[in-house]
Structure 1
Amino acid sequence: MTDRPNYITPAGFAALRAEYQHLLSDERPKLVEVISWAAGNGDRSENGDYIYGRQRLRQIDRRLGWLAKRMKAAKVVDPAAAPDRTRVFFGATVTIADEDDNQLILTLVGDDETDARQGLIGWGSPFARALRGSAVGDVRRVALPAGEKEYEVIAIAYPPA
């Protein structure tokens, strides 16, 4: 964990909380029941249900601990309440174009809610850092694995207030 704030959208925080609740109140109790049943069957050294159940229980407990830490450190920011909608800040959906006029639509979200397939990029990513504070018409240089590339900001949108 770093000392940076864990910015997250309200939807992202709700997703973390829903996963936490599901693991804690649904999956974990069912697994404990299976482990108890398997333990009652005798020899645990070759009992697949017991061994797998204990491994899965450790995975769930680690995930619950991680989710609890992330939710505790979360700073929920509602992009719909952005005061300046003319610049790229947290929660903005940005349309950018490269030199060949290939367009990308990206939304800057919390690092815990990134999904590149849906165009959701983490606030702390190099791409997002390059776009922060830019306005329509600004050209920004982004360091990519294949080398640096320039993108022009075409449009900026925020969720409705």
Structure 2
Amino acid sequence: MSRGFIREEDQEEIPIVPPRADLPHGVTNYVTQIGLDALLAEKEELMEEIVNVDRTNENESRIAINHNNARLQLLNNRISTAKVIHLADQPQDEVRFGATVTLKIMATNKTQKFQIVGVDEADITKGKVSFVSPIAKILIEKKVGDMAILQLAKEERVFQILYISYI
């Protein structure tokens, strides 16, 4: 049957699913164990949502299930490509993936602490930055006492590495 003979209200609404945090094409999906555990917990919650969709209205339930299935597909892709980096295996005297780094901001003499994590785990409000972020990129392979320079649009921000831990 031609699509021209289908009632407008019978047409399936295509769910709009927001993309996950950006992971550049070709970049390995590194995660901490905590990050992988969070992805797996998110998957469990999503599967629970799918099971508990209100089925009173068939059209609305189909749309909700399609939306959650699309989210699940993106999530499963992230889980299947995840490569766990064990923090104990990292060089403890050098900034690498998973490191928690205490920095001194040279311009203000204030300190700031970040952990370098996977893209899905990153949350600046919790002091977690993605390993693909500019700040993480300038810190990788640095040691205590080293300086790192972040080039901003109108200035350079200079940091000194004060402490590195893998907790």
Normalised to the residue count of structure 2, the TM-score between the two structures is 0.79
Asked if 1:120 corresponds to 2:142, the answer is no
Partner of 2:147: 139
Deviations 1:63-112 (A, max 9, x none): 10111100111101111222x21110011110001122111000001111
Structure 1 consecutive aligned stretches of length 4 or more whose deviation exceeds 6 Å: none
User: Percent of pairs identical after alignment?
Assistant: 30
Provide the C-alpha distance between the structure 2 equivalents of 1:91 and 1:154, rounded to a whole number of angstroms: 16
Q: Does 1:22 align with 2:45?
A: yes
- Aligned-pair CA distance for 1:29: 1.1
From the superposition, tell whether residues 109 and 29 of structure 1 become closer, same or farther in structure 2 (CA, over 3 Å).
Answer: same
What TM-score does the superposition give when structure 1 sets the normalisation length? 0.82
Provide the aligned length of Structure 1 versus Structure 2.
143
Q: Which runs of 5+ in 1 are unaligned?
A: 40-49
**SS in structure 2 opposite 1:137?**
coil
Match of 2:96 in 1: 89
The RMSD of aligned alpha carbons is: 1.5
**Displacement, 1:12?**
0.6
